[in-house]
Structure 1
């Protein structure tokens, strides 16, 4: 087939025999490139006619993405095949062959990068259709695929540029001599590129060990932030107010941080209420149960109301309720606070916290009592000189002392 192709091009060149030799040779090479272009367009149209909504759609998308690099590689192959029969001078043929070889290597690397991206995006789209966006498996695959894709892009780029440079004789000789004396050179290069290499290997380690994933909710520098993008050297974190933290990727291997969605996106939210000792806990607990059970953000798993603590002034009531994600937990807690505060204000005002100040009379019966003050319950006090030791007398239980307390 190659001989037939060269024969066709030679006959075409003979048709332009009345032109100068270099001009007819260049026209023959242009004809070879045109034939490659026509063949590529014909093959592309055939592929685009493949039916199907899933596989056919993927093949059509892949063909359209690979159309440009494959077309250029076909032109390079056709022109390179026709070049020996062009009749050009030897030096020009050598220079053109070398140029076509470099172009072919670059287009091959570009095609590999495009193919990697198309395949990874198709894989992510397939698993995204089957899973919920808060699913751990989906976010794990997203992180691994994107990290490995960026690593593959870097490796393909290095290999492509290196292969292109190695086609030049001086560079090839330099590379061989560099390998021969790789001791000091590798040390210098390693020290110079240490930050880049550290982040690159950290990115590969994060892709494997998964301390963070795409759309994980973490706390860094006191801010809630979502993992928006993971590159090969840094991580982009999106804060709730749309600020962005740009953090070196090695930070997540060298420092501690909180990941609220590492194993699951679901969270248990906590609401603290501070109420008076007269608060009717049965009514408050029942009202909280109604609020949470009616809330669409509650996932139906965890709910509880407990008196968690108390001070000299108030009781601390802890309300816990679970939600499907961190943002839903935040909104659920806000809704619980808003509705229970309205309930306490309108229907249980005695439960609202208040300040107390007590005045107790002195031993002589003269104290800071004022008219209009509410008297507190009597305070049991022993008579003067009594000792409450075992087996000794004292005031009988229930006996009132002389002192009276008051509060307002």
Structure 2
């Protein structure tokens, strides 16, 4: 009876002592945390795992020292050992997560120039997932090794490891490919969290990067979920890989008679009066002159993709409104010939042959044209593939 009482008191005393030590340490960390963010984070996130770990270790040692021999002692000790291993894995994971949170807090991404910060955030988030998965696997492995039967099967497991690895690789080929692709993306700097991308014809922002998939937040708040291997095997647009500042265009079709300089001055005025413009690029150019209209392209710049979208819409709106108020004749018009007999065009007369001037010819007229004509002509003076092709097809 005295031995049982001694064992109970010993176990209880060890547990109480462990709890007292943990609570005293927690109180001290809270006091230090008033001046240190790291200490406050440790006190908040490591209190429970540290309490469970130290208490289980103290109880296990008390059972070994004062427990003596009692029915089921081996099972109790084994259960305490497994609990200590699991609690220690929890403690290590909590410590690593605290350190990763401190890194993320130091490199915040809600600042204007956040390119390096987004890169570090992406890598830390990926390392967090790898770290947690590794700790769980190691903890489960150590727990299984505490069973004697599993240790005895180790030799046979190692003997068949080759076949098992081949089968597992074939069965999990896609999953493993995504995992390795996620690790590659985290350190290759191809994409980062908060990057603006165009994927599958959708414009959005990288919201989350995991080991198996990537979530893209589309501009209308939809989510596009893609496997990580997509970004290592298919092309996509990254608008913010080197900098967040981007260029954009607003195109307008106008009539051939449109004066360009007043529109160019209006574009400059719109950009200078808008806080969306970053004062880098403001250009108006004629990019096409085909059909019945000419195409004007307004090229503008902004600090980020969101501001660029609003600036492009603003430029298009203000230019259209200004043209309607000041240059209605510049609006696109369709020209139609109504009278074929009196169209103002002189009748075509048969005239004597007049050679084209030298600046209207490419393969003749001048030493350069004659040399070019000789290079592209055949031995008899005509271009190969013309008369020869006709003769071959007609049989002559």
TM-score class, shorter-chain normalisation, is 0.7 to 0.9
Contact 1:84–1:93 (Cα < 8 Å) also in 2? no
Shift of 1:294: 1.3
Shift of 1:221: 1.9
Q: Distance in 1 between matches of 2:160 and 2:334?
A: 82
Secondary structure in structure 1 of the residue aligned to 2:54:
helix
Matched, 1:243 2:243: no
Matched, 1:303 2:282: yes
Shift of 1:228: 0.6
Q: 1:172 aligns with which of 131, 138, 151?
A: 151
Shift of 1:236: 1.0
Shift of 1:134: 5.2
> What's 2:375 paired with?
none
Matched, 1:274 2:253: yes
Q: Distance in 2 between matches of 1:90 and 1:326?
A: 72
Q: Distance in 1 between matches of 2:174 and 2:152?
A: 29
> What's 1:32 paired with?
14
1:130-209 aligned at under 5 Å gives the runs 132-133=111-112, 135-209=114-188
Deviation larger for 174-183 or 148-157: 174-183
Q: Distance in 2 between matches of 1:265 and 1:390?
A: 57
Matched, 1:256 2:238: no
> What's 1:404 paired with?
none
Q: Distance in 2 between matches of 1:51 and 1:72?
A: 22
Contact 2:267–2:282 (Cα < 8 Å) also in 1? no
> What's 2:372 paired with?
none
The two structures, once aligned, show a CA RMSD in angstroms of: 2.2
> What's 2:361 paired with?
none
Q: Distance in 1 between matches of 2:33 and 2:299?
A: 54
Q: Distance in 2 between matches of 1:385 and 1:127?
A: 81
Shift of 1:166: 0.8
Q: Distance in 2 between matches of 1:171 and 1:205?
A: 35
Secondary structure in structure 2 of the residue aligned to 1:277:
coil
Shift of 1:51: 5.9
Q: Distance in 2 between matches of 1:221 and 1:344?
A: 36
> What's 1:389 paired with?
354
Secondary structure in structure 2 of the residue aligned to 1:228:
strand
TM-score, normalisation: structure 1? 0.82
Shift of 1:52: 5.3
Poorly superposed stretches of 4+, deviation over 4 Å: none
Stretches of structure 1 that go unaligned for 5 or more consecutive residues are 1-15, 368-375, 392-408
Q: 1:348 aligns with which of 327, 344, 355?
A: 327
Question: Structure 1, residues 271-321: CA drift from partner, whole Å, max 9, x if none?
Answer: 111111221211111011100111111111111111111123111111100
Contact 1:271–1:319 (Cα < 8 Å) also in 2? yes
> What's 1:221 paired with?
200
Stretches of structure 2 that go unaligned for 5 or more consecutive residues are 357-396
Shift of 1:145: 0.9
Contact 2:205–2:216 (Cα < 8 Å) also in 1? yes
Matched, 1:101 2:81: yes
Matched, 1:111 2:82: no
Secondary structure in structure 2 of the residue aligned to 1:246:
strand
Shift of 1:97: 2.1
User: 1:47/1:349 Cα in 2 relative to 1: closer, same or farther (>3 Å)?
Assistant: same
Q: Distance in 2 between matches of 1:352 and 1:121?
A: 58
> What's 2:31 paired with?
49
Deviation larger for 167-176 or 292-301: 167-176
Q: 2:264 aligns with which of 267, 276, 285?
A: 285
User: 1:236/1:385 Cα in 2 relative to 1: closer, same or farther (>3 Å)?
Assistant: closer
Question: Structure 1, residues 72-94: CA drift from partner, whole Å, max 9, x if none?
Answer: 11112211221133244255333
Q: Distance in 2 between matches of 1:144 and 1:289?
A: 42
Q: 2:210 aligns with which of 220, 231, 236?
A: 231
Contact 2:22–2:51 (Cα < 8 Å) also in 1? yes
TM-score, normalisation: structure 2? 0.84
Matched, 1:72 2:52: yes
User: 1:210/1:390 Cα in 2 relative to 1: closer, same or farther (>3 Å)?
Assistant: closer
